[in-house]
Amino acid sequence: MKFRYANGVPTSTENATANILKAAADPNVISFGGGLPAPELFPVAEMKAATDKVFDKYGRLVLQYAQTLGYPKLREQITDLMKDRHVDAEVENIGVVTGSQQAIDLVARMMINPGDVVIVEDPSYLAAIDVFNSYGAKLVGVPMDEDGMKTDALAETVKKYTKAKFIYTIPNFQNPTGRTMTEERRKELVRVAKEAGIPIVEDDPYGAIRYAGKKLPPLKHFDKDGGVIYLSSFSKILAPGMRLGWLVADKSFMDHFSLMKQNADLHTDNLTQYIVSQFLLDVDLKKHVKKITDAYEHRANLMLELIDKYFPKNVHHSNPEGGMFIWVEIPGGVDTDELFKTCIKNNVAFVPGSAFFAGDIKPGTFRLNFSNMNDEQIKEGIKRMGKAIAEVVDN
Ligand code: PMP
């Protein structure tokens, strides 16, 4: 059968990133490629205990169809999490989703007609770029520096693209750069967007995983007129396999969102929502997150130390204050897709920068994940990468 696919479906099933991740999944490969949390920190016993309790208390209920925007008790607990993040929200402003990835997809589906402009940080989260492209968006990248998206450049961009549908940003420990947007820039971004009448989609799966620096309020905190749609997730603070995330938005937006969510999957897995709700009642989430941040701080610092030791001296790297990624730039226009091939021969992997750019690819860039490998793997992997980079740079 020759299927006549819709426009948004990629014509080629050859996907460079999928190939990279497949190569990196070989158990002999030390992989700094994927964005996986440390599995040894998943709260397995506590989740099992919460699951047993849920089945004992609510067996029939949790196996039944449920409300589209999520389990009301969990939505209430999420309003508490949001208070801790300096955002006042009511239950009606919260929607539970099947991972924040689903929120990215549904928000994009709600806003994008083919040809519409979406403004993104350059570089940005690959799977969001793919979603926006699948709905036919024209992506316009705004450059970043160590302080996040450059708001002066954004001000110019919104003058040019006055009908842009939204601005997508990851202010905390950005994927892929690990950079954090300063408080001044956050306020300025909200101001520029508001003045231009363009909504912001704030994607914050990593904000709670801060191990250094000062906690900063999300853009949503500065939003006084409902222009910011805030997304977050339990993936990085509990476990990604549970596929549980949420969004926070104005009631009027949520009413539309609810219809789209209903079309997509009626509601997010009811059982998982009850389990996480029970977990949050029984376990000190802050203490659990502290274990994660302590481990990630150690791994990030170890990796940075080894980068300074084994990579050429003129290499530049970001200094993340949390999250899971370090962004590296090798001066001199090195092709990091080629570097990847050399590295994979030496059983070490990363993601070349080319995957993350909406606009022109910045050569010499790549992303390293530090959360998923242990100390020995980090030591050996960075050493191997150092050798491979020296080979490529010398040639
Ligand atoms: N946004 C960003 C920036 C991410 O890095 C990820 C996960 N890699 C997601 C969203 C999706 O996370 P999830 O669907 O697991 O909540």
Measured distance CA(174)–CA(180) in Å, rounded: 6
Tell me how far the alpha carbon of residue 231 lies from the centroid of ligand 1, in angstroms: 9
Average pLDDT along the chain, 395 residues, taken 10 residues at a time:
88 73 81 94 98 97 98 98 98 98 98 98 95 96 97 98 98 98 98 98 98 98 97 98 97 98 98 98 98 98 97 95 98 92 94 92 96 97 96 74
pLDDT at 394: 66
Helix, strand, coil % over all residues of the chain, rounded to 5: 45, 15, 40
Task: Evaluate: CB of 178 within 6 angstroms of ligand 1.
Answer: no
pLDDT at 16: 67
Task: Evaluate: CB of 233 within 6 angstroms of ligand 1.
Answer: yes
Tell me how far the alpha carbon of residue 293 lies from the centroid of ligand 1, in angstroms: 18
How far apart, in Å, are the Cα atoms of 347 and each of 232, 308, 369, 388?
Answer: 34, 21, 15, 11
Q: Kindly report the CA angle at 141 between 209 and 360, in degrees rounded to 5?
A: 110
CATH 3.40.640.10 fits 44-282, yes or no: yes
pLDDT at 270: 98
- Spell out the domain ranges in the chain: 16-43+287-394, 44-282
pLDDT at 333: 85
pLDDT at 395: 54
Q: Which atom of ligand 1 is nearest to the CA of 170?
A: 3
Tell me how far the alpha carbon of residue 162 lies from the centroid of ligand 1, in angstroms: 28
Measured distance CA(151)–CA(335) in Å, rounded: 29
How far apart, in Å, are the Cα atoms of 34 and each of 9, 136, 200, 296?
Answer: 24, 26, 27, 15
Of how many residues is the chain composed?
Answer: 395
Note whether 16-43+287-394 and 44-282 share their fold: no
Ligand 1 probe mutation, 97, 100, 243, 325, most atoms within 8 A of CB: 100
Q: ipTM of this model?
A: 0.99
Token look-up 């190939």 returns 19
- Cis check for the bond before 176: say yes or no (omega within 30 of 0): yes
**Fold for the domain defined by 16-43+287-394:** Aspartate Aminotransferase, domain 1 (3.90.1150)
Task: Evaluate: CB of 157 within 6 angstroms of ligand 1.
Answer: no
